[in-house]
């Protein structure tokens, strides 16, 4: 994880491990990024992946890009400790077109929804991200993406408004700052 190594190669939560993607994650990743129920909500930059071979190519690209990304930017797998299954993915990247705002995004395999995994992993990644000299993270969600909006709030993010500046799509914008996480842990 680039400089994430300074806190160890992975983040561990009560039920999950947030770690780098590996080439042998293709089948698991396809159960997230190959499924319309997930990808229909993602931003246009990430289309639905057709099959395991294509997922393997996407994963290789992510794995190769990761060491060159300035922390806290990156992409990670979310693994469930109980059975070692990859149940989701997390990302932090600069939002286009201005590339000033850092976006946190989360995706879970549909059969893993409803357990609090995205918020648990997301909170851990946010805590780590705030050790990397940044002072805010954003999330964007389509107005009817109620699950994603619920997760943003559970992570401790606040609604800041609606915009179409990022993708020419109407998006709800959420933000978290280090002081918000301090309040949560109180």
**Residue 169 or 182 having the CB closest to ligand COA:** 169
Assess 141 for contact with ligand COA (CB under 6 A): yes
**For the chain, what percentages of helix, strand and coil (3-state, to nearest 5) are there?**
40, 25, 35
Contact set for ligand COA, span 43-102 (CB under 6 A): none
* CA-angle at 18, arms to 142 and 90, nearest 5°: 20
CA angle 45, 128, 4 (to 5 degrees): 80
Integer Cα distance of 102 and 73 in angstroms? 8
Among the residues of 66-139, which ranges form H helices?
117-129
Query: Using the rule CB under 6 A, is 131 a contact of ligand COA?
Result: no
The CB-of-13 to ligand COA minimum distance in angstroms stands at: 11
Minimum CB separation from ligand COA for residue 105, in Å?
3
Is 129 or 148 the residue whose CB approaches ligand COA more closely? 148
- Structure-token pair, residue 34: 């190959």
When CB distances to ligand COA are compared, the closest residue is 116
Taking CB under 6 A as the criterion, which residues in 105-124 touch ligand COA?
105-108, 113-119
Distance of closest approach, residue 8 Cβ to ligand COA, in angstroms = 23
Is 38 one of the binding residues for ligand COA (CB under 6 A)? yes
Cβ proximity to ligand COA: between 132 and 167 the closer is 167
Within 13 A of 122's CA, how many CA atoms are on the CB side? 26
Which SS3 state, helix, strand or coil, does residue 172 take?
Answer: strand
The site for ligand COA (CB under 6 A) is made up of: 38, 41-42, 105-108, 113-119, 141, 145, 147-148, 150-151, 154
């Amino acid at each position: 994880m680039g400089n994430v190594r300074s806190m160890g190669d992975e983040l561990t939560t009560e039920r999950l491990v947030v770690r780098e993607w590996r080439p042998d994650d293709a089948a698991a990743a396809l159960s997230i990024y190959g499924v319309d129920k997930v990808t229909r909500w993602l931003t246009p930059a990430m289309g639905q992946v057709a099959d395991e071979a294509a997922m393997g190519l996407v994963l290789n690209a992510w794995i190769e890009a990761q060491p060159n990304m300035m922390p806290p930017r990156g992409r990670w797998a979310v693994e469930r400790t109980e059975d070692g299954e990859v149940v989701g993915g997390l990302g932090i990247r600069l939002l286009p077109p201005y590339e000033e705002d850092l976006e946190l995004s989360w995706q879970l395999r549909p059969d893993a929804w409803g357990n609090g995994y995205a918020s648990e992993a997301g909170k851990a990644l946010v805590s780590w991200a705030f050790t990397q000299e940044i002072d805010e993270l954003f999330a964007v969600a389509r107005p009817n993406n109620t699950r994603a909006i619920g997760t943003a709030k559970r992570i401790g993010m606040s609604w800041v408004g609606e915009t179409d500046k990022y993708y020419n799509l109407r998006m709800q914008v959420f933000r978290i700052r280090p002081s918000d996480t301090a309040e949560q842990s109180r």
